[in-house]
Structure 1
Amino acid sequence: MSSYSDESKLSRRAFGGAVGAGAAAAAVGLSAAGADAAEPAERRFRAAPRPSGKRPNILFILGDDLGWADLSSYGAPHIKTPHLDRLARQGVRFTDAYSGSPTCSPTRFSLYTGRLPGRTKGGLAEPITDKSVGLEPTHPTLASLLRNAGYATALIGKWHCGHLPDYAPTKSGWDEFFGNFGGGLEYYSKLGLFADYDLFEGDAEYKDLRYYTRILTERAGEYIRRDHGGRPWLLNLNFTTPHSPWIADGDEEEGAEIARKIRAGRKDALLHLDGGSVEKYAEMVEDLDRSVGEVLGALKESGQERDTLVVFASDNGGDRFAYHWPLSGGKGSLQEGGIRVPTIVRWPARLGGGQVSHEPVFTPDWTATLLEIGGARPNPAYELDGTSLAPYLLKGEELAERELFWRVRGERALRCGEWKYYRGKGGKDQLFNLAADQREQADRAAGEPKLLAELKAAWERTNAGLLPYPAA
């Protein structure tokens, strides 16, 4: 699905060789899917820069409800994302990366804790829509563990893991917070689901009625340019773009109408069921791309680009205007379109550019990876569900085949290698070979009963260790 020709389409072993020691890279072969004998070797592989002794800054950028193929580098025919495409050319683009859940707050729980959403009470909400649950401040997080290891920490943008007074980023390891607590808001008025104003600095309201994406972009640039006293930093930059309501910068009148409906008690106003379009959605995604470009520009201007590890991803699959082709399903579903997300990683000091990885990875893996790279020790009382990708990315070690697990009310899924076990709301157990059938249309359950039984049993074993859902 790539829109540029100089990417390496690498197998498990080939990817490691390309980003590890440069001297070994030329000896590693391409996967059959990406082999091209006419392509010069130097375009297939780039030697990794020499290792840096510094722990990196970490910039983790989340889009909100961004579909797997919404970037031009992932195949979108009608959306132009030059800044994110450039980021991919400078680093690693993952084709088989997944979110921890098909909805907002459970994925954020899985990123912040490195654990499956079902490990925590707050993670059972799909997503959080009231103020009674959240991420318990006693639970170790990516931020608290990195802060203990010497990092400055900040979260800018959407939190969606609980509300004041009991839950907040500053109660869970982030030194600073600027953003919104809820799942969505009207981009100008900052009114959220409860008709409350939802833009805060720390635990105090911050008044700014400009378009929200502009505000977050400015704040992120300010944080990056700041003197952090020689400490490395973690910045979680969580945009709400392109989450509904579908209004772009300049659509003040549409925003005012949505705000009026929120004040009138319309609980569905933020869903924007009577608005939006493919064209408006594309405008929002392109605005997100420009905003990411501005933030990356601040990073470069500050002289920190080489020693900053950047991860860009989405919190789940896209909503109704998103482009998922060829995947089925979307936000809220455990079909591929609901959980497979665009994911790009760049670290100039350690990773070669122009790489593509087809390894299945998911949100909790990034928590484990960043903790290892940042020199932070996980709390043994809270075992991580993710696998650190650091040996794979930095040393070329083969990533062992493992099981990626998901569940939501009424659906279940597990991926192991190229196979996916899936049960939808109809209750039928299905089996798909994703290498041959990304669209999940050819059910192989009848022809592979033993494999189906093994994957189903693996799902059941993991599920047995999770909290049960409360009665609906």
Structure 2
Amino acid sequence: MTNFVFILADDLGYADLGCYGGRAAAISPALDRMAAEGMRFTRSYSNSPVCSPTRFALITGRYQYRLRGAAEEPLTGKYRGSTTVGLPPEHPTLPSLLKTAGYQTALIGKWHLGYPPHFSPRKSGYDHHFGPLSGGVSYFTHLDRGGNADLVEDGEPADHQGAYLTDLLSDRAVQYIEQRAADRAPFLLSLHYTAPHWPWETRNGRAEPPITGPTLGHLHGGSIHVYHQMVRELDEGIGRVLDALDAAGLGDDTLVVFTSDNGGERFSDNWPLVGGKMDLTEGGIRVPCIARWPKTIAAGGVSEQHHLTMDWMATMLAAANVAPAADFPLDGVALQPALADAGHGFARPMHWRMNHRQQRALRDGRWKYLKVDEHEYLFDVETDERERANQGRLQPERLASMRAAWESWDHAMQPIPVDAGVSLVYGSADMPQR
């Protein structure tokens, strides 16, 4: 049976990695090697330009807009104890479906899909969880912005004060792979790093000022040099995970996927895209994505296949020959044709909406419909990936058609609740404005 390792970086920019044209020297040798051994996608998109909504889509294989919890951008600590804002335990998930087929399942890293006692990784299909429950936490004290201890193991507090979180997660992932190699059980390992998400802390340097406090946000501290070192340390851990798979003889029939939960933040390299986290411009939703599966994927492939984060659930279920739940049909699309042939492509319309600035977007083929506040745009993103030349006035019929297609899709989703909010800690004013 095929094993699965899904590695999710947090706030990594489209061009941060060397294999995506990154301008920082030797920042990602392990991921660059993974791309050389597998397939690199150039038109991979996150389900959202902010973290927790993408995670709802990834674990359910469905547009996040079908669930109340995903209307928060992102889901913040104010919902501790909420009975409604989180991933409902009864909803089928990638780990719960694989578990019924005999898989061992683990989440090592960030959850961010609701707080106990009503929501947790183990209520949604994971046999094991080690990591934080919220968004950004200190890499050394493991405290969230409210000063709460936020590192848990299977629902209980885990005290690893002083240990660098990126390394802790990498260590646990390697241990988990070695355990599964020993018992020969098929497994899903969701390895969800917090790096390179704020706070800006490296293995050898803590954030100044400290991250806790009601007025502190993502605009405090850091530098591009600190950010690059955080990516290097993330990359080192991923290299250790890949080496552990190969050393255990599991590499050949393990599908390993690496991507980011949304576009990059203030220190990220998104070139040539504009915008970033919180934006439905390309820089907020277009992300690096690499897949390695030697048994199936030819080395060195580059695919232009459009896809969303949630498509990986459909892909993994298909690879495991596990059917989705009949009452919860997937919105995601299996990517097997593209994995088998890098030159193969198929139509994949993709839709987004955001509370923040009342954004909406649809990419269909080479065309993208975008609305920000009350302004509408039509871009040919194949030739204008920086989204500079608005074609709306030149092609009003295409604009109207794509607007109607987006509105038809939106009618099939739940309306945005009136009490849904946008977190103020993300500093959207720091992002390029249109």
When the two structures are superposed, what TM-score results if normalisation uses the length of structure 2? 0.92
The 3-state SS of whatever aligns with 2:287 is coil
The residue that corresponds to 1:331 in the other structure is 277
Instruction: Choose from 166, 173, 193 the match for 1:239.
Output: 193
Q: What's the offset of the Cα at 1:374?
A: 1.2
Q: Within 5 A, what are the aligned runs for 1:41-60?
A: 55-60=1-6
1:164 aligns with 2:116: yes
1:77 is aligned to 2:31: no
Unaligned runs of 5+ residues in structure 1 are 1-54
Q: How many pairs are equivalent?
A: 409
Query: What TM-score do the two structures reach when normalised by structure 1?
Result: 0.84
Residue 424 in 1 paired to residue 377 in 2?
Answer: no
Aligned pairs (5 A) from 1:278-427: 278-394=224-340, 398-409=344-355, 410-425=358-373, 427=374
What's the secondary structure of 2:362's corresponding residue?
Answer: strand
1:86 maps to which residue?
A: 33
Write out per-residue CA displacement over residues 383-414 of structure 1, whole angstroms, 9 at most, x where no aligned residue: 21111111332378954313100111110000
The residue type paired with residue 275 of structure 2 is G
Identify which of 420, 434, 455 aligns with 2:381.
434
Residues 414 and 272 (structure 1 numbering): CA distance in 2 closer, same or farther, change over 3 Å?
Answer: closer
Aligned-pair distance for 1:350? 1.1
- For residue 147 of structure 2, what is the aligned residue in structure 1? 195
- Counterparts of 1:297 and 1:383 in 2: how far apart (Å)? 36
Alpha-carbon distance in 2 for matches of 1:197, 1:339: 31
Render the CA deviation track for 1:233-255: whole Å, top value 9, x for unaligned. Answer: 00000000000001101114x36
- Aligned residues of 1:324 and 1:337 also touching (Cα < 8 A): yes
Displacement after TM superposition at 1:194 (Å): 2.9
Change (3 A) 1:189 1:441: same
Residues 239, 268 of structure 1: CA spacing in aligned structure 2 closer, same or farther, 3 A cutoff?
Answer: farther
- Asked if structure 2 preserves the Cα contact closer than 8 Å seen for 1:391 and 1:397, the reply is no
Residue equivalent to 1:49: none
Q: Show the 5 A alignment for 1:173-192.
A: 173-192=125-144
Give the letter for the 2:31 counterpart.
L
Instruction: State whether residues 301 and 342 of structure 2, in contact with CA within 8 Å, keep that contact through their aligned partners in structure 1.
Output: no
What's the offset of the Cα at 1:93? Answer: 0.2
Matched, 1:135 2:87: yes
Specify every segment of 5 or more residues in structure 2 that has no aligned partner in the other structure, as ranges: 420-434
Displacement after TM superposition at 1:231 (Å): 2.4
Equivalent position amino acid for 1:214 in 2: D
Percent identity of paired positions between Structure 1 and Structure 2: 45
Q: 2:178 matched to 1:230?
A: no
Counterparts of 1:317 and 1:211 in 2: how far apart (Å)? Answer: 24
Answer yes or no: is the 8 Å Cα contact 2:274–2:283 preserved in 1.
yes
Answer yes or no: is 1:62 the counterpart of 2:37: no
Who is 2:167 aligned against?
Answer: 214
Counterpart check, 1:101 vs 2:54: no
Using the TM superposition, give the Cα deviation of residue 272 of structure 1 relative to its aligned residue in structure 2, in angstroms.
4.4
Displacement of 1:268 in angstroms is 4.1
CA distance in 2 between partners of 1:92 and 1:246 (Å): 30
Contact 1:246 1:272 in 2 (8 A): no
Bigger mean CA offset, 385-394 vs 103-112: 385-394
Question: 1:192 and 1:93, CA in 2 relative to 1: closer, same or farther beyond 3 A?
Answer: same
For residue 193 of structure 1, report the CA deviation from its aligned partner: 3.0
